Chains A and B, each alone.
Chain A
């Protein structure tokens, strides 16, 4: 039996579920740690999650599937950039649990087809984004990863040639 790809990542953050929730759903906060991306994910099921790249291009426009602030958020995931593989939408679930004055954040990214290239990309991406989120909420300073630099350069050059 082959299992469909499923990515699971857990991180513990010295912050409250409310602050982690705001960081995941408000673009003014996300752009500070999500390598410049403005991610707007407040809303009811059926509303849209949108993400905008540092260069101002729309990179996501996906349905919010569940929203139970500040505990659980589920949205669809289909990157809109032209250089990303064209695959069916996958699904991202965030679970926030208070844990001894801290927050245990679990991210589950699933609903991929076997052999998904997007799965390989997000498996590298989430640890960088969530490490940066943790740094930002705990110390006020987000991370700059080489991964994000490369991503930004490729975005910039794609737009130059557009």
Chain B
């Protein structure tokens, strides 16, 4: 197993969703939902610590591959993320993405934490900082109104430049 203590939180995003923990959990862990709000990616998840995790593109290529680090149904899911596509992103060290769910009144508070094990520059963090609000806004719209948002975006230019500079 990886040493999660080495990973420090760098980006945290909190969103409240008028839904149940069951539904939010299902939306995070089932490809039937992720392909609607997560830029058409299918999530693949072996539901146990140490299990395999992947995000797959509609054409079958693997976008992100990782391992399940924490699996506590309805409450917490933590996986490592190694980006495999686009190819130049393979230089990035794996990060850790953690979802935590809690009941907050009639809503669910979803907290996404992206943690890194190295001194990651802001230019590289800009990818997650622009992407997560779009993905999680779309998830909220999907669960509350039945319709995801139309948000497509490319990785920020500064992120691509910073990755080119990595050894």
Contact = CB atoms under 8 A, between A and B. Distances in A.
Interface of A: 8-14, 99-102, 124, 127-128, 131-132, 134-135, 138-139, 141, 143-149
Interface stretch (B28-36, B52-60, B93-101, B136-144): B136-144
A146 B151 contact: no
A73 to B, nearest CB: 19
Contacts of B129: 8, 10
Contact of A12 (B18, B104, B134): B134
B43 to A, nearest CB: 21
Given A12-B133, A13-B137, A145-B16, A131 B107 contact: yes
Contacts of B106: 143-144
Interface of B: 13-18, 103-107, 109, 129-130, 133-134, 137-138, 140-141, 144-145, 147, 149-152
Given A144-B106, A145-B104, A148-B105, A135 B149 contact: no
Contact of A11 (B133, B144, B150): B133
B104 A100 contact: no
17 contacts: A9-B13, A10-B133, A12-B133, A13-B137, A14-B149, A102-B150, A127-B16, A131-B15, A132-B16, A135-B140, A138-B141, A139-B145, A143-B105, A143-B107, A144-B107, A145-B105, A145-B107
Nearest to A106: B133
Contacts, number: 75
Contacts of A147: 104-105
Interface of B is mostly: mixed
A141 B141 CA distance: 12
A135 B105 CA distance: 15
Contacts of B151: 12, 99-100, 102
A46 to B, nearest CB: 32
Contacts of A128: 16, 104
Given A12-B137, A102-B149, A143-B16, A135 B144 contact: yes
A101 B150 contact: yes
A131 B138 contact: no
Given A145-B107, A146-B105, A149-B105, A11 B137 contact: yes
